[in-house]
Structure formats: C-alpha cells, structure tokens
Amino acid sequence: MGKDMEKKEALRNIVSFLIFSITLVSAGVVSMPQDCNGSPDGETLLMATTTSTDNTGLLDYLMPAFTDQTGVDIRWISTGTGKALKLGENCDVDVLLVHAPQAEKAFVDKGFGTERREIMYNDFVLIGPAENPAGIRGNKISEALQAIRSSQNIFVSRGDESGTHKMERTLWSSADVPTPEQEPWYRQSGQGMLATIHVAGELKGYTLTDRGTYIKYESSAEGKPALIVLLEGDAMLLNQYSIIPVDPKHCPKVKYQKAEILSNWLAGDEAQRLIGAFKLLGKQLFNPNASR
Amino acid sequence: MDFIQDGFVQAFSLLRNGDAATYSAISTTLRSSGLAMAASLLLGIPLGYLLGYFDFRFKKQIRIIVDTLLSLPTVFIGLVIYALLTRNGPLGQAGLLFSIPGIAIGQMLLSLPIVIALTATAVEAADRNLRLTLMSLGANRRQVAATTLWEVRLGILAAAVTATGRVLTEVGISLMVGGNIKWHTRTITTAIALETSKGEFGMGIALGLVLLLIALTVNISLAGLRRRI
C-alpha cells in the first residue's frame, strides 16, 4: 500500500507543479504583446507588399523618409500580390502596395479596401538565355509566347498567384495558347521574383519579370547575368503599382488613418520625386505616375 | 563555389563589424527560441514525468500520439498558428501575429513533444530498479520521487539540447507566423531563406555559420552545466 501512497503524493506534486507552469506560461503569453518586442500592435502601420518593391530595395530607400516626414512607423511583409490581398482580407495588415489591377478592383468592390490609388509603374520584360533558343524577336509578347511553346524550351513561372503570375496567365490566354500547367517545359517555382529569375538562370529558361527586379538581378550579377532582356515594349506589358488602405468597415481594428497618411504621402510630390530618382546601374526602376 | 569561401569571410566581418541587421536577426532568434524553450521546459518536464512515471489507462496510446507529434512539420505548425492568430481567427484579439511571442508559441508547439517524449523515456529507463533499491535502503516517498527526478537530470538535459536545436533552426514557423519583417521578426533562418532567394549565397552561408556558432555556444554552456551536476 506504501507504493500507492507514494505514487499519489508524487502525482499531487507533479500536478501542482504543472498547474504552476501553465499559469506562468499563459501569464507570459498574455503579458507579451504589451512589451511590444516585435509585436506590430500599437502605433505601427503594417503593410503587405510584393517581392518586387522589397527585393529591389525601393522600400528600404523610401520608407525612412516617410517615417521622418510623417512620424508614422511602418513595417512591411513582402509576398506575392495574391497573398498580400489575402492578408488584407483577413485584416492582418493595414495597407497594401500591390500590382494586379483586376484583382485589386475586385478587392475594393468586395468592400475589403477603401480606395485604390495608382502610385507608379514599370513594365514587364521577357528574359531568357542570350542564345535565345526559341528565336524570340520583335516586341509582340503573344508571338514570343507561341514561339516558346513550339520550341518547348523551359519557361519558369512564378506559380504563386502573384501579380506577375496573374499577368503571365493573362498573356498566355491573350496569345491564344492554353495556359500551360503540366507541360514538361513549364516549371512553376512557387517563389518570389528574384528567386524565380535565379531558377530560370540555372535552367537556361525564359521567364517574365518586372523590370525593377530584373535590374536588381542584373546589378548583383556584376556584369555577367545569365539571362538578358529579349522582349520589351509591348503595350500589354504595363505593370501598374497601386496602394489600397484596408477598409475599416470590414476590419474595425485596422489603422486606417495612418494608411491614408501613407497613401497621400506616396502620391505627393516628395515621394514621387524620390521614386523617380531610385536607380540601380544608372537605370530607373519605377516611374512615378500618381494622379494629383 | 566562391561563395562558400565568401561566406566564411563575410560571417566573420558581419560579427566583427557589428552589422546591425545581423545582430537584429540574432536577437530575434534568441528571444523567440528562449521564450519557446522556457515555456516548453516548464510544461514538458512535468508532463513527461507524468507519462514516464505513472501507469494509467491509455498510457500507450498517449505515448504513440506524443511520438507522432515529434514529426510535426514546422510549416504545418506555422499554418495552424497563423489560422489561430489572424485578426479574424479565434485568438486574433491578442494581436500576436507577426510578433516574436507569436513565433515563440509556434516554436513551443514544436519543442513540447520533444521535451515530453525524451523526459518520459529518461524516467522510464531510470525507474525500474531505482525505486526498489531506494526503498530497500529505507528511503521515504518524498526521497524516492526527488531522487528519481535527480537521476534523470541528464536525460532532461538531453531533451533540452535536442529541442533547442530544433527550435533554433526551424524556418517554417518563423516565416509564416513572423512574416520575416526586417528589424522585427526576421530571424537568422528566415534571413538565410531571403538571401538565398535573392541569389546572395555568400551572405546566406555567412548567416548559416553565425547560427552554427550560436548553437556551439549554447552547447558548450550546456556541456559545462552537465559536468557540474
């Protein structure tokens, strides 16, 4: 019987220790947000944006000036436009800086965002190996995609519902080519733009990219990029970036006023000038075009 | 292959020159994994002790579940924690998404099964003859329980070392719950993923070496502790 007693007492000790631990841990979790160690709550504006604005270094260049001039602290998460829109819909961010006009309009129409404001643009370019195995010429993107398809040369797609991926699918369908999916030459990387360019470089494939990210790639390749621009200038290849505050009617906790401050600031003279002055390799990455 | 050498050179220059972004990532990594380890040791040691020391119904089944949870994929934990912490989710009010405590909660979920399973194994292994020996030597109940806990200290230490390694090096939870926000929730591992995706392999390797260096420091101090106890 002594053994049973011993076990009961040990059990009691352990259970009380466990209750103590659970109390301590949950107290810790509850008190954590207040000490704002990396917590985005409070005064910080949280933005979801695309990999192209972040990877190029535009935001690291632009946002300190924004915080200086307005006193608003900002943090951002860079991901594909598809996920950025989802984060807005789920009320996890306050504002979006994205580039997929159709999806953005739908986002605003569904009541998730207040107003879509165009900030800047650049263009998409088709890049590929210098040997150009598919023989791409001219500036008609639809002909180029048909040529890639008939040559069966590797084409690397973002495959992640990003703005670039949405644009790429629009281009396939406007070229009257069924959007490839499982074709052996069609590879979906599922990664950000710069990562996808590197994948295409390794595979000697073609890919579609925004010009800003390509210039960033070109500048880090130190004069010997594996991929070069093979097609540019088609009117279809316009790449418009817009800012959308998340609607406080949909997400009551969202920092709408701060989002508006950012939207106004980005459309203002100073930010527009800064965007136009942002260069890598002496080339301009984004063209400001906010309507005043 | 230049970037491997580059990585070694860069790793030292990052640390020596006090590169602010690197130290911010180091601090985020240490804070989230420190919180996660503190919580999972506090909860896991008593739970593991319960599981190893006592006999009760469904003990075997619980053991199988705990062992299965050892294979929890970090991206899956990340997704589940995201679903819980998103503003419209059940715990959305707490505002823990994209924060270090948010990452720590996910990492705690990752390390808890490790601490429980390894503590339980250590207790089970020590239990069999120890209790009889102690009782035959005339020890009372309290002494038996305390001595058992003391005897399994090395097993618990091994559990802590294993779980710390897992937590320090995971990337799925930090990326999905933390959001890889520069200066705030960018850990060493998410920074490596980002640098690699940008094609900055040298920088990625440098950060990997920094992480290994941290793991080395942690293990040297734990080895010191092991010698003393």
Q: How many structural domains comprise chain A?
A: 2
Q: Return averaged pLDDT per consecutive 10 residues of chain B, 229 residues in all.
A: 81 87 93 95 93 89 95 96 91 89 96 96 82 81 78 91 95 94 93 87 90 92 84
Give residues with Cβ within 8 angstroms of A276, minimum separation 6: A284, A286, A287, A288
A218 shares its domain with A269: no
Q: Which of B169, B151, B159 is nearest to B213 (CA)?
A: B169
Model confidence at A200: pLDDT above 60: yes
Q: Which of B184, B177, B187, B188 is nearest to B210 (CA)?
A: B188
Residue B195 sits at the chain A interface (C-beta within 8 Å): no
Answer yes or no: is A18 within a domain: no
Answer yes or no: is B17 within a domain: no
Answer yes or no: is B86 within a domain: yes
What is the C-alpha to C-alpha distance for residues A4 and B59, in angstroms, rounded to an integer?
18
String of b and e for A209-243 (b: at least 16 CB within 10 Å)?
A: bbbbbbbbbbbeeeeebbbeebbeebeebebbbbb
Interface test with B, best of A35, A92, A93 (most B CBs within 10 A): A92
Residue A202 sits at the chain B interface (C-beta within 8 Å): no
A187 shares its domain with A246: no
Phi and psi, residue B37, nearest 5° = -70, -40
Answer yes or no: is A8 within a domain: no
What is the pLDDT, as a whole number, of residue B180?
A: 92
What is the pLDDT, as a whole number, of residue A165?
A: 94
Count of alpha carbons within 13 angstroms of residue A19, beta-carbon side: 5
What are the tens digits of pLDDT across the range A117-129?
Answer: 999 999 999 999 9
Answer yes or no: is A9 within a domain: no
Report yes or no: A193 and A213 within 8 Å, Cβ to Cβ. Answer: yes
Structure tokens belonging to residue A69: 């001039």
What is the C-alpha to C-alpha distance for residues A192 and B179, in angstroms, rounded to an integer?
14
Facing residue for B181 by CB, picked from A7, A77, A91: A77
Residue B92 sits at the chain A interface (C-beta within 8 Å): yes
A101 shares its domain with A205: no
Q: How many structural domains comprise chain B?
A: 1
Q: Which of A197, A213, A238 is the last residue of a domain?
A: A238
What is the C-alpha to C-alpha distance for residues A169 and A148, in angstroms, rounded to an integer?
14
Share of chain A above pLDDT 70, in %: 92
Answer yes or no: is B6 within a domain: no
- A32 and B99 within 8 Å at the Cβ level: the answer is yes
Domain of A87, in residue numbers: 45-121+240-288
Answer yes or no: is B11 within a domain: no
What is the pLDDT, as a whole number, of residue A6?
A: 65
Range with lowest mean pLDDT among A14-23, A224-233, B5-14: A14-23
A116 shares its domain with A128: no
What is the C-alpha to C-alpha distance for residues B89 and B80, in angstroms, rounded to an integer?
10
A104 shares its domain with A159: no
Minimal Cα distance from A25: which residue of B?
B39
Answer yes or no: is B15 within a domain: no
Q: What is the DSSP track for A129-166?
A: ETT-TT---SS-HHHHHHHHHHHT--EEE--SS-HHHH
Question: Chain-wide mean pLDDT for chain A?
Answer: 89
Q: Is the dihedral of CA A7, A8, A13, A14 positive or negative?
A: positive
Q: Fill in the amino acid letter for B61.
A: Q
Domain of B55, in residue numbers: 23-228
Task: Find residue A186's DSSP bridge partners.
Answer: A155
Mean of the pLDDT values across residues A191-208? Answer: 93
CATH number at residue A206: 3.40.190.10
Residues 45-84 of B with CB under 8 A from A: 46-47, 49-50, 53-54
Q: Which of A199, A217, A238 is the last residue of a domain?
A: A238
Q: What is the ipTM of this complex?
A: 0.75
Answer yes or no: is A20 within a domain: no
What is the pLDDT, as a whole number, of residue A146?
A: 94
CATH number at residue B140: 1.10.3720.10
Model confidence at A35: pLDDT above 70: no
- B95 and A37 within 8 Å at the Cβ level: the answer is no
Answer yes or no: is B177 within a domain: yes
Q: Fill in the amino acid letter for B44.
A: G
Q: Bigger pLDDT: B159 or A182?
A: B159
- A91 and B92 within 8 Å at the Cβ level: the answer is yes
Q: Which residues of A touch B196 (CB under 8 A)?
A: 195
Residues 208-237 of A with CB under 8 A from B: 217, 220-221
Q: What number of other Cβ atoms are within 10 A of residue A97's Cβ?
A: 25
Structure tokens belonging to residue B58: 């469904």
Biggest distance spanned by C-alpha atoms of chain A: 93
Q: What number of other Cβ atoms are within 10 A of residue A263's Cβ?
A: 22
Residue A34 sits at the chain B interface (C-beta within 8 Å): no
What is the C-alpha to C-alpha distance for residues A6 and B144, in angstroms, rounded to an integer?
8
Facing residue for A76 by CB, picked from B35, B105, B181: B181
A49 shares its domain with A105: yes
Structure tokens belonging to residue B14: 């990052």
What is the C-alpha to C-alpha distance for residues B7 and B99, in angstroms, rounded to an integer?
29
> Which residue carries 């093979």 as its tokens?
A230
Q: Which of B26, B35, B212, B180 is nearest to B106 (CA)?
A: B35
Please give the DSSP secondary-structure letter assigned to residue A247.
P
What is the C-alpha to C-alpha distance for residues A290 and A264, in angstroms, rounded to an integer?
10
Q: Fill in the amino acid letter for B120.
A: A
